[in-house]
């Protein structure tokens, strides 16, 4: 019966109830159909996803992501005594990437590569970046004071530029050649690795026996019979300066460890490396930097013993000390030898090694040598030039030669003199005038350019711009790319020992281009200081 045909209320009521029931039944049926459709859709999509996952899993190649070196801002916090290590943590993991690419390019992220001969192991001591309290931007150097490179209280410390993030931040300091320079550094370090002797040393004259490609390298020359201490120290410093130590996993971890092991095994009971203060200072610097970067307890005593030798051989004055001669203390303060001993003391202080008042004595040497060489020092302005001597006699005041302004300027920076300081600025001016043009063409005096690059980088400004734009392109152009020479540099010229050969020139070239990573820079200051008293 249709609703409009109803003749009474009862029929109308019955008709209305029937309609309502019909609508409810139809709605339930529709909902059932929708639920069924959605269920079928979900099941079909899940099946498709499962099939895709199985296909990807079947075709995927297993790989391990490279390990990224982690910087700890508070590296010396001890672990709880009851800390346990799971079985999974104890399992050594080997990642093979060494020979995948013959000429790897350093990525924009500066990710560390892992070598096929490296094993990842738990290391209870995180890698420090140098003492935070060893940072200073002013003159320092007394007992208990640690004078180091850096500005303010930046927690990155002296070695902060060597970390992956630090290197990434500082590539730009090499200008347009930044990326090419990092690739060049990597090739040079690979050359050093290939020419390391099996016992861990770098052999000055016999390194070529390790050549694996043709043409093979030529023999070197060991002038003093103990150059291997210095060459091995130089090589280790090249790796450390680029952030590769002997504890954190990297493609050069074992290489650095073998070199350090050889030095420690060669150290005499009293802490001496070799005989002369030249080779000893360089080897000491390498051990101290390795300790400062890693807190490796095995290096603490060897580092301290080596520093004790340096302190005992420092030329004495009535108050503190001065510089160093070749072996025993005399009145002959040799700037070339003293420069490396200052650097060794600086690296030792970064690791908390006791250096007593060694840097205070070095500061006395620096100022007295400079004043003796520049009779007009009181009237100098930052726009003038001043010289620095090769030898200063602390008894007579007599100087020999006047060409080592690059050593004087670098030592001035590390002994607390900042941009604008009369001593520093005038030596930088002499360094620029006397050496920049000579060193912008290879072969050149790599010893001079290394000290100059350090001084210029720390001082910043136009000094650094000129040296960076002169030295880096010249070195990039001169680096060999053929056979077993690949990554090395031909013999340098114009300094004593240059004829040592390829091993020395390659380490010096690498140190030249690594200055932006080796040490955090001192903040430039606009305050003009003088030594007038």
Do the Cβ atoms of 325 and 334 come closer than 8 Å?
A: yes
194-239: per-residue pLDDT in tens?
999 999 999 999 999 999 888 999 999 886 678 999 999 999 999 9
What the chain holds in terms of domains, given with CATH numbers, is 132-518 (1.50.10.10)
Provide the token pair at 422.
Answer: 């009369």
Segment 456-474 mean pLDDT? 95
Which residue bears the tokens 């070239």?
A: 509
**Does pLDDT of 380 surpass 60?**
yes
- The span from the CA of 191 to the CA of 202, in Å, is 11
Neighbours of 197 (CB within 10 A): 17
Alpha carbon dihedral 4, 8, 12, 14, in 10-degree steps, equals -140
Which residue bears the tokens 């931040």?
A: 169
Which residue bears the tokens 């249709």?
A: 2
**Strand 332-334 relative to strand 399-400, pairing:** unpaired
Instruction: Assess whether the previous peptide bond of 135 is cis (omega < 30° from 0).
Output: no
From residue 52, alpha-carbon distances to 41, 46, 47 in Å are 17, 10, 9
- Which of 340, 328, 201 has its CA nearest to residue 279? 340
Assign 71 to helix, strand or coil.
Answer: coil
Q: Residue 138 — very low, low, confident or very high, per pLDDT cuts 50/70/90?
A: very low
Higher pLDDT, 25 or 300: 300
Let me know the angle formed at the C-alpha of 324 by 323 and 330, rounded to the nearest 5 degrees: 100
**Does pLDDT of 58 surpass 60?**
no
Residues in Cβ contact with 180 at an 8 Å cutoff, skipping those fewer than 6 apart: 476
Sign of the torsion formed by the C-alpha atoms of 312, 263, 451 and 382: negative
pTM of the model: 0.73
**Does pLDDT of 111 surpass 50?**
no
Instruction: Assess whether the previous peptide bond of 215 is cis (omega < 30° from 0).
Output: yes
Do the Cβ atoms of 213 and 484 come closer than 8 Å?
A: yes
Do the Cβ atoms of 378 and 372 come closer than 8 Å?
A: no
Q: Detail the DSSP E strand segments found in 330-459.
A: 332-334, 391-393, 399-400
**Does pLDDT of 430 surpass 50?**
yes
59-94: per-residue pLDDT in tens?
444 333 344 343 333 334 343 444 433 333 333 434
- Which of 162, 171, 192, 196 has its CA nearest to residue 106? 171
- The span from the CA of 126 to the CA of 444, in Å, is 40
For 198-238, the three-class secondary structure string (H helix, E strand, C coil) is CCCCCCCCCHHHHCCCCCCCCCCCCCCCCHHHHHHHHHHHH
Neighbours of 468 (CB within 10 A): 22
Q: Residue 159 — very low, low, confident or very high, per pLDDT cuts 50/70/90?
A: confident
- Which of 330, 406, 316 has its CA nearest to residue 360? 316
164-187: per-residue pLDDT in tens?
888 888 888 998 999 999 999 999
For 499-524, the three-class secondary structure string (H helix, E strand, C coil) is HHCHHHHHHHHHHHHCHHHHCCCCCC
Helix or strand (DSSP H, E) at 309: helix 300-313
């Amino acid at each position: 019966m249709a609703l409009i045909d109803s003749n009474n209320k009862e029929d109308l009521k019955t008709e209305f109830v029937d309609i309502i029931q019909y609508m409810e039944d139809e709605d339930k049926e529709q909902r059932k159909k929708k639920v069924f459709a959605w269920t079928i859709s979900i099941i079909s999509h899940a099946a498709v996803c499962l099939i895709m996952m199985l296909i990807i899993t079947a075709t995927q190649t297993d790989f391990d992501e490279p390990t990224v070196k982690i910087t700890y801002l508070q590296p010396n916090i001890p672990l709880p005594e009851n800390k346990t290590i799971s079985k999974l943590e104890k399992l050594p993991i080997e990642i093979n990437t060494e020979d995948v690419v013959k000429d790897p390019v350093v990525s924009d992220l500066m990710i560390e590569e892992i070598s096929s001969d490296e094993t990842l192991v738990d290391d209870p001591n995180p890698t420090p970046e140098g003492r935070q309290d060893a940072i200073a931007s002013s003159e320092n150097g007394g007992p208990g004071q640690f004078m180091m490179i850096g500005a303010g209280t930046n927690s990155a410390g002296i070695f902060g530029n060597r970390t992956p993030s630090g290197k990434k931040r500082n590539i730009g300091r090499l200008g347009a050649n930044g990326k090419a320079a990092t690739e060049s550094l990597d090739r040079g370090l690979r050359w050093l690795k290939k020419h390391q002797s099996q016992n861990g040393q770098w052999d000055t004259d016999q390194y070529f026996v390790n050549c694996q490609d043709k043409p093979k390298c030529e023999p070197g020359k060991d002038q003093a019979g103990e150059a291997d201490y210095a060459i091995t120290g130089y090589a280790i410093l090249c790796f450390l300066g680029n952030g590769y130590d002997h504890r954190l996993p990297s493609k050069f971890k074992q290489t650095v460890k073998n070199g350090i092991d050889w030095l420690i095994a060669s150290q005499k009971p009293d802490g001496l490396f070799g005989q002369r203060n030249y080779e000893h200072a360089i080897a000491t610097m390498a051990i101290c930097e390795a300790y400062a970067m890693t807190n490796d307890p095995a290096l603490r005593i060897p580092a301290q013993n080596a520093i004790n030798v340096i302190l005992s051989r420092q030329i004495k004055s009535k108050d503190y000390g001065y510089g160093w001669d070749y072996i025993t203390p005399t009145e002959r303060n040799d700037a070339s030898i003293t420069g490396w001993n200052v650097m060794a003391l600086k690296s030792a202080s970064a690791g908390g090694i006791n250096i007593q008042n060694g840097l205070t004595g070095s500061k006395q040497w620096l100022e007295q040598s400079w004043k003796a060489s520049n009779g007009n020092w009181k009237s100098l302005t930052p726009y003038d030039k001043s010289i620095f001597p090769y030898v200063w006699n602390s008894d007579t005041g007599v100087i020999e030669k006047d060409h080592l302004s690059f050593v004087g300027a670098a030592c001035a920076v590390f002994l607390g003199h900042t941009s604008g300081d009369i001593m520093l600025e005038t030596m930088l001016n002499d360094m620029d005038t006397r050496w920049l043009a000579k060193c912008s063409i290879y072969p050149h005096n790599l010893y001079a350019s290394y000290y100059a690059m350090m001084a210029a980088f720390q001082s910043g400004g136009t000094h650094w711009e000129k040296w960076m734009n002169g030295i880096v392109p010249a070195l990039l152009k001169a680096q060999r790319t053929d056979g077993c020479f690949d990554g090395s540099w031909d013999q340098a010229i114009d300094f004593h020992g240059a004829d040592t050969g390829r091993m020395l020139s390659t380490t010096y070239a690498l140190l030249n281009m690594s200055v932006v990573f080796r040490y955090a820079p001192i903040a430039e200051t606009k305050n003009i200081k003088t030594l007038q008293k």
